[in-house]
Copies of this chain bind each other. A is one copy, B any other.
Amino acid sequence: MGENANEVPQEEEEDQIVNPFQVTVKKGEKIDYDKLIDKFGCQRLDPSFVERVERVTSRPPHVFLRRGVFFAHRDFNEILDAYERGENFYLYTGRGPSSEALHLGHLVPFMFTKYLQDAFKVPLVIQLTDDEKCMWKNLSVEESQRLARENAKDIIACGFDVTRTFIFSDFDYVGGAFYKNMVKVAKCVTFNKVVGIFGFTPEDHIGKISFPPVQAVPSFPSSFPHLFSGKDDLRCLIPCAIDQDPYFRMTRDVAPRIGYQKPALIESSFFPALQGETGKMSASDPNSAIYVTDSAKDIKKKVNNHAFSGGQDSIEKHRELGANLEVDIPFKYLTFFLDDDDEVEHIRKEYGSGRMLTGEVKQKLIQVLTELVERHRKARAAVTEEVFDPQMFQDEYQAVIAQSIL
Choice from B192, B201, B203, B209 contacting A203 with Cβ under 8 Å: B192
A20 to chain B, nearest CB (A): 16
Choice from B173, B179, B191, B203 contacting A206 with Cβ under 8 Å: B191
A268 to chain B, nearest CB (A): 28
A98 to chain B, nearest CB (A): 15
**Integer count of this chain's copies in the complex:** 2
Choice from B171, B173, B188, B206 contacting A194 with Cβ under 8 Å: B206
Any B CB within 8 A of the CB of A180: yes
- Apart from A171-B179, A174-B175, A190-B205: 5 A-B pairs, beta carbons within 8 A: A134-B183, A141-B184, A190-B202, A191-B200, A202-B202
Any B CB within 8 A of the CB of A207: yes
Binary flags per residue of A98-135, CB closer than 8 Å to B gives 1, else 0:
00000000000000000000000000000000010011
Residues of B within 8 A of A77 (CB): none
Measured CB to CB, the residues of A under 8 A from B are 131, 134-135, 141, 170-176, 179-180, 183-184, 186-195, 200-207, 209-210, 212-213
**Known contacts being A141-B180, A179-B171, is A210 close to B186, with CB within 8 Å?**
yes
Q: Which 3 A-B pairs have the closest CB atoms?
A: A175-B175, A186-B207, A210-B210
Residues of B within 8 A of A175 (CB): 173-176, 179
Residues of B within 8 A of A188 (CB): 205
Within the assembled complex, what's the spacing in Å between the Cα atoms of A141 and B192?
24
Closest to A175 in B: B175
**Chain A at the B interface: mostly helix, strand, loop or mixed?**
helix
Residues of B within 8 A of A209 (CB): 191, 206, 209-210
**Known contacts being A174-B174, A210-B209, is A204 close to B190, with CB within 8 Å?**
yes
**A213 and B202: CB pair below 8 A?**
no
Residues of B within 8 A of A135 (CB): 183, 186-187
A96 to chain B, nearest CB (A): 14
Within the assembled complex, what's the spacing in Å between the Cα atoms of A171 and B179?
7
A277 to chain B, nearest CB (A): 34
- 26 residue pairs of the A-B complex, CB under 8 angstroms, read A134-B187, A135-B186, A141-B180, A141-B183, A170-B179, A171-B180, A171-B183, A173-B175, A175-B176, A175-B179, A183-B207, A186-B205, A186-B210, A189-B205, A190-B202, A190-B204, A190-B205, A191-B201, A191-B206, A191-B209, A192-B203, A194-B206, A202-B202, A206-B213, A209-B209, A210-B213
Closest to A212 in B: B206
Closest to A203 in B: B190
Residues of B within 8 A of A176 (CB): 172, 175
**B180 and A206: CB pair below 8 A?**
no
Closest to A179 in B: B174
Q: Choose among A131, A184, A186, A212 the residue with the greatest number of B CB atoms under 10 Å from its CB.
A: A186
Within the assembled complex, what's the spacing in Å between the Cα atoms of A262 and B83?
55
A21 to chain B, nearest CB (A): 15
Residues of B within 8 A of A193 (CB): 206
**A202 and B206: CB pair below 8 A?**
no
**Known contacts being A175-B175, A179-B171, is A206 close to B210, with CB within 8 Å?**
yes
**B195 and A202: CB pair below 8 A?**
yes
